[in-house]
Structure 1
Amino acid sequence: MEQNKLREATLTAAAGTDDLKRIFQDRKRTNILHKIEQQTLSFLVTRIPKSITSDMLTYIGTFGSMMVLAGFILANYQNDRNYLLLGVFGLAVNWFGDSLDGRIAYYRNTPRKWYGFSLDIIMDWVSTVLIGLGYLVYAQKAYELIAFAFVVLYGWAMIISQLRYKITDIYSIDSGLVGPTEIRIILALIFVLEVAFGGLIEYFATGICITLFIINIIDTRKLLKLGDIRDDMERKVKNSAA
């Protein structure tokens, strides 16, 4: 209770200051496809049958990740990389479910903020593990470690977003111009190129991991600065209340 009061007092004391504007400059989505994505979701949300619930959409998104896993497995054991195209469709299904689950709840005025938030984070992690496991099955032995690195680095990015939410009370899933939607599109393009030419996915996967590592380092530095500013604000509130 005391922590909540302190948190509220800190934010109130900082309201309207330059620090708050700088800290919360990510109030809106920053990914490149934000406008197009929002227009598409606004169109879809009014057309989802009432029999399809928010939870069902979350599980549909996870099923899309299972399709990506299945595409990798079939491509490996059937020795036919055309099965990777199943992964392209799976990523589209994952976007559909993952992007609409929360929005449909708010549209229907039936939001469960913390339940939905918790379920979404857990299923996002499951989806990441499924995709990483799929690549582990498909990858050549020399590149199997890349699958592990992808899961670790994407998990690191998820942790950063949760900690940023804890510090700022603003939940942001984007890192600059790139968000989950852009990552799905990049992965889909990699699958298509792998089907067309073969032998390229290892290089792309390595490139993605290097990029994620750099982004995570930058975001971690920013996160620590936010934490330092929050600590300074809370000290000021404590001193003023003393």
Structure 2
Amino acid sequence: MSQEKINKKLFQDRKRTNILSNPEQQFITYLVPRIPSWISSDGLTAIGFFGSLMVLASFLLGEYVHISFLLLAVLGFFVQWFGDSLDGRIAYYRNKSRKWYGFALDIVMDWVSTVFIGLGYVFYAPGDFKYLGFALVSLYGWAMIISQLRYRITDHYTIDAGLLGPTEIRVVISLVLVLEVFVPGSINYSVFLICIILFFINIGDTNKLLKLGDAKDKEEKAKKLADIDVQN
């Protein structure tokens, strides 16, 4: 099967708008046929979750052993991306997709992973900066809720908020962690800035979501009136 056909097959169920979508999809298209047959979709989900535990461990080691252990999180985010991005794609490639099972598992594991990563920052951050961990998890949870409601209203699933998606967030946080190793304390202000950016992105996406909901309501009301006219 050609790379183009594989790419079309793997991403038929969703539209991506994030900045890194093209190179990311090309890389996934390259990787999927090379995944050993003994690694299942659920196995990849477990690998992704293990990556989240690596990020949590890096914060703990960075706090209680040495700050350089924060670099472990960069590898952890790659492992998380690998499992999270390929679990559903491998199911499509092997014609073993379970739409609603995979959807439910993906959302639950994304949330659990987000909580663990936020918890890691809470352990690492000093004083009142710990509250930023709670804020970051809450804001990302808000973004997740928006994506699920958008899916419910439009029947089109997307995991991106405009130009930003989970991959971009992983890259940004990885860069923040690298900077923290060389400039200790910088992570707290970086996380504060990320929270502000996520807040305004969520406000904008919530506004768009409400407009979609309003348009859907009007469409359904118009359809009901048309049905009544036909019956009469």
Give the TM-score, by structure 1 length.
0.88
Q: Which has the higher contact order (CA 8 A, sep 6+)?
A: 1
Match 1:37 to one of 24, 39, 42: 24
Runs of 4+ in 1 over 2 A off after TM superposition: none
- The structural deviation recorded for 1:56 is 0.8
Match 1:99 to one of 54, 73, 85: 85
Match 2:53 to one of 52, 56, 66: 66
Match 2:106 to one of 97, 120, 126: 120
The corresponding residue for 2:141 is: 155
Amino acid at match of 2:201: I
Amino acid at match of 1:118: A
The corresponding residue for 1:225 is: 211
- In the aligned structure 1, how far is the partner of 2:182 from the partner of 2:51? 22
User: 1:171 aligns to what SS in structure 2?
Assistant: coil
The corresponding residue for 2:97 is: 111
The corresponding residue for 1:21 is: none
User: 1:173 aligns to what SS in structure 2?
Assistant: coil
Cα RMSD, aligned residues only: 0.7
- The structural deviation recorded for 1:208 is 0.6
* Matches for 1:1-242 after TM superposition, within 5 Å: 28-78=15-65, 80-242=66-228
Give the TM-score, by structure 2 length.
0.92
User: 1:46 aligns to what SS in structure 2?
Assistant: helix
Deviations 1:46-82 (A, max 9, x none): 000010000111111111010000000011111x110
Deviations 1:189-240 (A, max 9, x none): 0111111121100000000101110000000000000000000000011111
- In the aligned structure 2, how far is the partner of 1:143 from the partner of 1:82? 20
Deviations 1:150-196 (A, max 9, x none): 01000000000000000000011111111100000001101111111
Deviations 1:86-126 (A, max 9, x none): 11100000000000000000000000000000000000000
Amino acid at match of 1:50: S
The corresponding residue for 1:13 is: none
Q: Which runs of 5+ in 1 are unaligned?
A: 1-26
CA contact (8 A) 2:15 2:157 kept: no
Deviations 1:10-42 (A, max 9, x none): xxxxxxxxxxxxxxxxx6211111100000000
Q: Which runs of 5+ in 2 are unaligned?
A: 1-13
- In the aligned structure 2, how far is the partner of 1:55 from the partner of 1:193? 34
Question: How many residues are matched?
Answer: 215
CA contact (8 A) 2:142 2:202 kept: yes
Amino acid at match of 2:35: I
